Amino acid sequence: MPTIELKRVVVTGLGALTPVGNNAKDSWRALCEGVSGAAAITHFDASKFKTQFACELKGFDPLEHIDRKEARKMDGFTQYAMVAATEAIADARLVEDKVNQDRVGVVLGSGIGGLLTFQEQVLEFGSGDGTPRFNPFFIPKMIVDIAPGHVSMKYGFRGPNYSTVSACASATNALIDAFNLIRLGKADVMVSGGSEACVHESGVGGFNALHALSQRNDSPQTASRPFDKERDGFVLGEGAACIILEEYEHAKARGAKIYAEMAGGGMSADAYHLTAPHPEGLGALNVMRAALEDAEMTPADIDYINVHGTSTPLGDIAESKAIVRVFGEHAYNLNISSTKSMTGHLLGAAGAVEAMAIIKSIQEDIIPPTINFSVPDPEMDQKLNFTFNKAQKRTVRAALSNTFGFGGHNASVIFKKAP
């Protein structure tokens, strides 16, 4: 078979809607400043729930961005995706430059999709007399693939269009698929990322039943504390992020600004447990090695890892063990941080928000912190630099982002300085 010459892929646009900022610029600033997005839940009465706080969006009104009639056809996760995608597309000037719409695709990830829509419709049916009265948009609002569908319809992008679903690795898998489509020549530009809207009764109740969420109700802002001995679970977050990936020569030809280059991605499975990581971090180890191999890099080429770092008792230990095994002595030269300490865990959108964070870190040579650290965990290697509590300046040549999902799904991406 003939050898395929893989094309280079760069980042030309960013968009975000997060618990710490309603656009990419504000979100990044808040991450660098160590701002927590956690607070008491306002979306519903959580007084009877074990966990009564989350990282909700702040001051967000979808009708400021989406026509009322269109917004009614969308679950929150699609609304969030539309806002982030619109910002990223504008940032990349895809409309102004009149790119070939047949060569622009959309791949977005979500772990759960329209769960609130499902909850509302089932409750409405259950409270009635059994007569089937369902909203005609019930199914189109709920299905995960509808978010990229809406983006393509708004902008006329006729390239590859679908969703990836791999729990908390969903957005990272979307980025890897988008990356591969471009470097294989199947598209010139891809709108990629993820969205999630799970701060509601089913989301909070379901994760409470799994004993996955922090119950630090007396101090929500300090509840997400990755790598701290007193961590007691993750904090649920909501939002979206989108990244415009583009073939390098195509970006150069239209004079696009370039944030960074995507160098590679890796995928693996723990093949171990429904919700717990492999105790020695085997899946995490394999996925980081796969990403390095795909990027044709060595461990010494990486300066920063944005870890999965959810603030769960088992997960943080397993990931830190894997980092030491993969990076050896260079592990102690790395900066490591978990931006989930600020945003909470955005589930299927987490990988997109964290990819945005490493892209900006590479561009600006700043490492956002892991906030809320106070008590060292003796099971964690104390020589590792977890960038506790305060951002650090350093040259970031390349950075890696990890995401791991229930079911043992692992995905990692690597970005490096713009060519």
Q: Tell me the catalytic residues.
A: 168, 308, 345
Alpha-helical runs (H) found in 184-296: 201-209, 248-253, 282-294
| Axis crossing angle, helix 24-33 with helix 350-364, rounded to the nearest 10 | 80
Which helix (H) or strand (E) segment holds residue 356: the answer is helix 350-364
CA-nearest of 298, 292, 304 to 268 is: 292
- Reference 369, options 404, 344, 335; nearest CA is 335
Q: How far apart are CA 213 and CA 234, in angstroms?
A: 5
Given phi > 0 = left and psi -120 to 50 = alpha, else beta, which region is 202?
alpha
Query: Residue type at 320?
Result: S
H-helix or E-strand containing 304? strand 304-306
For β-strands 9-17 and 161-164, DSSP reports them as unpaired
Residue in 418, 398, 400, 399 with CA at minimum distance from that of residue 410: 400
- Give the containing element (helix H, strand E) for 126: helix 115-126
Q: In 3D, which of 148, 175, 193 has the Cα closest to residue 267?
A: 175
Distance between CA 75 and CA 53 in Å, rounded? 21
- Tell me the sheet residues that pair with 416: 261, 398
- Residues 330/300, Cβ–Cβ less than 8 Å: yes
User: What is the spatial distance between Cα 167 and Cα 236, in angstroms, rounded to a whole number?
Assistant: 14
Residue 73: Cβ-neighbour burial (10 angstroms; 0-12, 13-18, 19+): middle
- 3-state SS, residue 251: helix
